[in-house]
Amino acid sequence: MKTVKAQFGFRGGIHPQYHKDLTADLPIERLPLPRTLAVSMSQHLGAPAKCLVKKGDAVAKGQLIGERNGFISAPVHAPAAGTVTAVEPRQGPTGGWADAVVIETAEDPSGAPVLMPPLDWKTASREELLARVNDAGICGMGGAGFPSAVKLAPPPDKHCEYLILNGAECEPYLTGDCRTMIERADRIRLGVEIMRKILAGPAVRIAVEANKLASIAALEKAFADIEGNVEIVVLPTLYPQGSEKHQIYACTKRLVPPGALPISVGCVVENVGTVAALADAVENGVPLTERVTTVSGDGVARPCNVLAPVGTSYADLVAFAGGEKDGVRKVISGGPMMGFNVPSLQIATTKTTSGLLLFTAASVFQYSSSPCINCGSCVRACPMQLNPAYISRAVEANDIAMAEGFGVMNCLECGACSFSCPAYRDVTQFCRRAKASIRAKAAAKAAKK
Amino acid sequence: MLPKQTGERYLLSSSPHAHARRTVSSLMLDVLVALLPAFCCAVYFFGRRALFLAGTCIAACLVTEALCRLAMKRENTIGDLSAVLTGLLLALNLPPDLPLWMAAVGGVFAIGICKQAFGGLGYNPFNPALAARAFMLISFTGPMTTWTASAWQISAGGMDAATTATPLAFIKKGAEGFDWSQAALLKDLFFGNVNGCLGETSALALLIGACYLLCRRTITWHIPFAFIGTVFLFAMVEGGVPPLVHVLSGGVVLGACFMATDYVTSPITAKGKLIFGCGCGLVTMLIRTAPTGAYPEGVSFSILIMNAITPLINRYTQPKVFGK
């Protein structure tokens, strides 16, 4: 094991104000069990799970309440014992609506939690381990929440040469992964060993941004005596360093072609929190039903890192963080660059809720856009090396085909272009609109056939 | 139908929710600040004339901008400071003795015809200040090429005389036997003791401003480097007047650092900027050295010509997508 500096940087990127000092040194705190949980059947991108319970049912902690429903899908478990009071559509953090199981948690749970039998990863077969990852509902806890079982079972013609652990956490404010690496480094190590077995022994690269020295030190200690090809890669602090494609490039100099998955260049990328959850699922038989969420921003009385069950309402998280302060004007689920703005605190967390940010008027900017002055800030900021200025102008003129010609489908929606635009143009938003429009058109075409 | 969400008391917007907080007016202000040393030099060398000319140009630009926006029923944009910048740049491109009414006409033309007629900031194909200067050069040829405010002293090299010509006009005449490489001449050119437009006398003052813009990342190095580098190389190959004399005289530094770098009318990518800068340098030197041409200086025209082919450069220098 050794620690190396990333050799291959990407062009572009931005340096936002990070505000990580608000919570980076605060240990993860466990949230007291909330009275109600609303567990969405749509925890991540891909097909929602199929609900297995109905109103009035009693559920035990860890009980399966939603089963995998399609290829890119993962099961959902009850985060706590209690009674199902409703199964109804609820708005999720991303703004979409999906069925949610509302559980009134029992104050004094009589039944024991339903756990899966612990597995000894050294003796268990690859198939058993993979089945466990699937059964425990493990999915990416960094961004989109791609089900891990799908990632860990590459098609037979592909071989995983590099397992990359994403500990970049490049979004401002968020410190959940940073704290997980400090407090659960041994768990991450166990997860790495299990994943290495499932993927038939790839080299391991743990990618961490240079602004997380404590995390790097903790990982170095935990991984000191690990065998095999393992390296901690220290990435320069630059947004969006956490992007899968850019991390693969930083660690291996391989370029993922447009539209392709990381496995096409022999890489699997998994978030550090996910790896720790995977270790829990295998060694303790615990399904993924809780996660660390950073509650921060200048509208929160006591910023903190909270370990909360999936389905906790934002209102409960904010109450735990000392409540609102100074007149909150904006609530963001996730980080400020790619997070979703939510209309109220009546929204529940999912497996992908990495942060909950409350901003007062001082941190919220309201603006009006002016015409593009061709300054090229967005072109220099774009990590995908697109021309956001031209894309935005094409979309403004309703010429989606031209935007497609400029490669808008490669856009990560990282927000670097809008961030740096002096004319305050909605550059990212224009790209998003073009992508949605192109996808809708393709879907309509497919439906016709 | 989906249930209605309650308690909507927060602002809603689509990500990102953070901004670098740099604005168009702050960029324009950067350039204005960067032009201060050159403007101070102009005041030092030409006195009140410089103040009057700059004041007239800026006022004409601001009034025209406001009236055009009013006539077009669009929001007032004088707050973005681009009209102030156009006015100041135009003034720095005028000879010190120009009648003020002509300067005012130039300001009106720059904003009214070259900028607002195309839709305002962001839509103009040509640099407004330079297009106005070209217009004035044709309309007021005499006053635009008369340099009487200060006498340029050439004391060395056997030509002990005061001249009211600019160094470039002197070159064009072909001053046989004149020692172009003498240190005194280079010193005059560098510190500004020469005849010329308000802003093109002291290269030092302009370079200080350019450094400020580079440090603030308001401009990138590509265009100034390519422009000045091409002028230098061309002069070296041509073998006439020493390359440094060409670089330091006339509007090369002003043009390369402040006019060619105008965002709206120059290419958007780094590669495009390099091509643009090289083109500017090449055309400048062709005009300066062509034995058949009448103009001693070619910076304004070279930038305007390159402005015209900027869309073409942009088309062929699109960035390559990461991963392709």
pLDDT digits (tens, 9 = 90+) for B129-164: 999 999 999 999 988 888 765 555 554 444 444 555
| Cβ–Cβ below 8 Å for B318 and A387 | yes
Backbone angles phi, psi at A135, to 5 degrees: -65, -30
Q: Does B45 reside within a domain?
A: yes
**Dihedral sign of CA atoms B127, B40, B229, A389 in order:** negative
Counting beta carbons within 10 angstroms of the beta carbon of residue A259, is it exposed (0 to 12), middle (13 to 18) or buried (19 or more)? exposed
Q: Which CATH class is domain A2-25+122-283?
A: alpha beta
Of residues A246, A379, A415, nearest to B16 (C-beta): A415
The count of domains in chain B is 2
In a domain, B161, yes or no: no
Cα–Cα distance for residue pair A29/B40, rounded to 1 Å: 61
- Give the C-alpha separation, B276 to B270, whole Å: 10
Q: B2, B9, B15, B123: which to substitute to probe chain A, counting the most A Cβ within 10 Å?
A: B15
**CA gap A35, A49 in Å, rounded:** 24
Cβ-proximal residues to A355 (8 Å cutoff; 6+ apart), any chain: A171, A173, A174, A176, A293, A294, A295, A296, A332, A333, A334, A335, A339
Reading the block at residue A381, the tokens are: 């900021």
Distance CA A309, CA A43 (A): 13
Model pTM score: 0.90
Q: Is the pLDDT of residue A174 over 50?
A: yes
Cβ-based contacts of B266 with chain A (< 8 Å)? 374
| Residue A436 contacts B, CB cutoff 8 Å | no
Contact state of B10 with A342 under an 8 Å Cβ cutoff: yes
Residue A186 one-letter amino acid: D
Which residues does chain B have within 8 Å of residue A257's beta carbon, measured at their own beta carbons? 323-324
CB contact under 8 A, A384 and B321: yes
Q: What is the distance between the alpha carbons of residues A312 and A345, in angstroms, rounded to a whole number? A: 11
Which among B16, B217, B129, B59 is positioned nearest to A427, based on CA atoms?
A: B16
Nearest to B269 among A249, A344, A379 (CB): A379
Quote the CA–CA distance of A337 and B14 in Å, as a whole number: 10
Instruction: Report percent pLDDT > 70 for chain A.
Output: 99
Question: Which stretches of chain B are DSSP H helices?
Answer: 24-46, 48-71, 82-92, 100-108, 128-139, 141-144, 167-173, 183-191, 203-215, 222-238, 243-248, 252-254, 270-289, 299-316
To the nearest whole angstrom, how far is the Cα of B194 from the nearest Cα of chain A? 34
Q: Pull the structure tokens for residue B278.
A: 């090289």
Q: Read off the pLDDT of each residue in A317-330 and give the average, rounded to a whole number.
A: 92
Give residue B220's pLDDT: 95
User: In Å, how far is B37's CA from the nearest CA of chain A?
Assistant: 24
A329 touches chain B (CB under 8 A): yes
- Please tell me whether residues B190 and B140 are part of one structural domain: no
Question: Do the chains contact at B12 and A341, CB–CB below 8 Å?
Answer: yes
Q: Can you tell me the mean pLDDT for B76-97?
A: 94
- Compute CA distances B174 → B145, B179, B180, B260, whole Å: 18, 12, 11, 28
- Please answer yes or no on whether B323 and A257 come within 8 Å at the CB atom: yes
Counting Cα atoms < 13 Å in the Cβ hemisphere of A184 gives 25
Rounded to the nearest angstrom, the minimum Cα separation between A249 and chain B is 9
pLDDT value, residue B5: 42
Q: How do the domains of chain A map onto residue ranges?
A: 2-25+122-283, 377-448
Q: What is the mean pLDDT of chain A?
A: 92
- Residue B268: closest C-alpha in chain A: A376
B63 Cβ contact list (under 8 Å, min separation 6): none
Domain shared by B301 and B176, yes or no: yes
Displacement of CA B169 from its chain's centroid (Å): 20
Do B12 and A432 make contact, defined as CB atoms within 8 angstroms?
Answer: no
Please list the residues that pair with A91 across neighbouring strands.
A97
pLDDT in tens, A32-80: 999 999 999 988 877 888 999 999 999 999 999 998 888 888 899 999 9
| A370/B122 touch (CB, cutoff 8 Å), yes or no | yes
Say yes or no: A236 contacts chain B, CB-CB below 8 A.
Answer: no
Q: Specify the 3-state DSSP secondary structure of B47.
A: coil
Residue B298 within a domain: yes
B87 in a structural domain: yes
Determine, for residues A346 and B2 on separate chains, whether the beta-carbon distance falls below 8 Å: no
Alpha-carbon distances of B13 from A227, B109, B307, rounded to whole Å:
48, 41, 37
Q: What DSSP designation does A409 have?
A: G
Query: What is the rounded distance in angstroms from the CA atom of residue A207 to the CA atom of residue B34?
Result: 41
Task: Express each pLDDT in B104-122 by its tens digit.
Answer: 999 999 999 999 999 999 9
Separation in Å, CA of B323 to nearest CA in chain A: 5
Selection from B260, B263, B299 nearest residue B283 by Cα = B299
Residue A64 distance to chain B (closest CA, Å)? 26
A91 touches chain B (CB under 8 A): yes
Q: Are the C-beta atoms of B266 and B273 separated by less than 8 Å?
A: yes
Under DSSP, is residue A318 helix (H, G, I), strand (E, B) or coil? helix
Residue B1 pLDDT: 34
B306 and B180 assigned to the same domain:
yes
Please give the structure tokens belonging to residue A150. Answer: 């799908």
Structure tokens at B47: 């006195």
Inter-helix orientation angle B48-71/B82-92, to 10°: 140
Would you state the pLDDT for residue B47?
87
Q: Work out whether strand A29-30 and strand A304-309 pair parallel, antiparallel, or are unpaired.
A: parallel
A17: CB partners within 8 A, 6+ apart: A172, B18
> Residue B3 carries which DSSP code?
P
Chain B residues close to A10, C-beta within 8 Å: 322
Q: Which residue of B has its CA nearest to A424?
A: B23
Q: Which of A258, A338, A371 sits opposite B120 (nearest CB)?
A: A371
Domain assignment of residue B11, yes or no:
no
The identity of residue A448, as a single letter, is K
Cβ distance A386 to B24 less than 8 Å, yes or no, reads no
Cβ–Cβ gap A374/B18 under 8 Å: no
Q: Give the three-state DSSP class for A398.
A: coil
Entry field: residues in chain B:
324
Instruction: Tell which A residues from 153 to 192 touch B, by Cβ distance under 8 Å.
Output: 172
Query: Which structure tokens are listed for B250?
Result: 């006339």
Half-sphere exposure of residue A378, counting CA atoms within 13 Å on the CB side?
28
Phi, psi of B300, deg, nearest 5: -60, -50
Alpha carbon dihedral A93, A296, A318, A58, in 10-degree steps, equals 50
Say if residue B116 is in the same domain as residue B224. no
Within 8 A of A359 by CB-CB distance, chain B residues are: 17
Report pLDDT for B157. Answer: 44
Burial class (CB in 10 A: 0-12, 13-18, 19+), A401: exposed
| Residue A336 buriedness (CB in 10 A; 0-12 / 13-18 / 19+) | buried
Q: Which of A127-141, B85-99, B182-196, B309-323 has the lowest mean pLDDT?
A: B182-196
Q: Kindly tell me if the per-residue pLDDT of A116 is higher than 60.
A: yes
Q: Nearest by CB to B323, which of A256, A337, A374?
A: A256
Question: Which residue numbers of B have CB closer than 8 Å to A's CBs?
Answer: 2-3, 5-24, 26-27, 77, 80, 119-123, 220, 263-266, 268-269, 318-324
Considering the domain architecture, whether residues B119 and B228 belong to the same structural domain is answered as no
B95 membership: H or E segment, kind and range: none
Residue pair A435/A411 in contact (Cβ under 8 Å)? The answer is yes
Question: Looking at the partner chain, which of A245, A338, A374 has a beta carbon nearest the beta carbon of B264?
Answer: A374
Cβ contact B24–A407 (<8 Å):
no
User: Are the beta carbons of A196 and A223 closer than 8 angstroms?
Assistant: no
> What is the predicted pLDDT for the residue at B240?
78
A237, two tokens: 């602090």
Confidence band of A343 (pLDDT split at 50, 70, 90): confident
Please report residues of B whose CB lies closer than 8 A to that of A377: 22
Are the CB atoms for A228 and A196 separated by under 8 Å?
yes
Of A340, A367, A373, the CB nearest to B15: A340
**What type of residue is B23?**
T
- Note whether residue B19 is domain-resident: no
Rounded Cα distance, B6 and A59, in Å: 29
Amino acid A360 reads T
User: Is the pLDDT reported for residue A27 higher than 90?
Assistant: yes
Residue B158 is predicted with a pLDDT of 42
- Average of pLDDT values for B35-52? 92
Q: Which residue of A has its CA nearest to B12?
A: A341
In this structure, how many other beta carbons lie within 10 angstroms of the beta carbon of residue B256? 28
Chain A residues inside the 8 Å CB shell of B85: none
User: Hey, are the CB atoms on B27 and A330 less than 8 Å from each other?
Assistant: no
What gap in Å lies between CA A343 and CA A320, rounded to an integer? 20
Six-digit token string for A374: 């061709």
- Using the Cβ of A370 and the Cβ atoms of chain B, whether some distance falls under 8 Å is answered with yes
For residues B229 and B135, membership in a common domain is answered with no
Contact list, A249 vs chain B (CB under 8 Å): 322
**Hey, is the C-beta of A255 within 8 angstroms of any chain B C-beta?**
yes
pLDDT tier at B190, thresholds 50, 70, 90:
confident
Q: Would you list the DSSP string of A136-193?
A: TT-B-SSSS--BHHHHTS--TT----EEEEEE---SSS--HHHHHHHHSHHHHHHHHH
* Residue B69: φ, ψ to 5°: -65, -40
**At B39, which amino acid appears?**
F
Chain B residues within an 8 Å CB radius of A390: 268, 318
Whether the Cβ atoms of residue B231 and residue B285 lie closer than 8 Å to each other: yes
Q: Do A365 and B19 touch (CB under 8 A)?
A: yes
Whether A56 and chain B come into contact, CB under 8 Å, resolves to no
Whether B104 and B173 map to the same domain: the answer is no
Q: Do B323 and A344 touch (CB under 8 A)?
A: no
Who among A366, A387, A416 is closest to B268 (CB)? A387
Q: Which residues of chain B neighbour A337 with C-beta distances below 8 Å?
A: 15-18
B324–A258 C-beta distance less than 8 A: yes
- Rounded to the nearest integer, the mean pLDDT of chain B is 87
**Contact B126/B259 with Cβ under 8 angstroms?**
no
* Same domain membership, residue B92 and residue B201: no
Q: Do residues A68 and A75 make contact, with C-beta atoms less than 8 angstroms apart?
A: yes
The per-residue pLDDT for range A239-295, each reduced to its tens digit, is: 999 999 999 999 999 999 988 899 999 999 999 999 999 999 999 999 999 999 999
- pLDDT tens, A128-160? 999 999 999 998 888 778 888 888 898 888 889
- Amino acid (one-letter) located at B4: K
Q: A361: nearest CA in chain B?
A: B11
Q: Is the peptide bond before A240 cis (omega within 30 degrees of 0)?
A: yes
**For position B174, what pLDDT does the model report?**
64
Q: Distance between CA atoms of A265 and A260, rounded to whole angstroms?
A: 9
User: What domain range includes position B205?
Assistant: 166-315
| Pair of tokens at residue B183 | 């240190």
- Average pLDDT (B186-205) is 82
Tokens at A47, concatenated = 């097909």
Q: Are B64 and B128 in contact (CB under 8 A)?
A: no
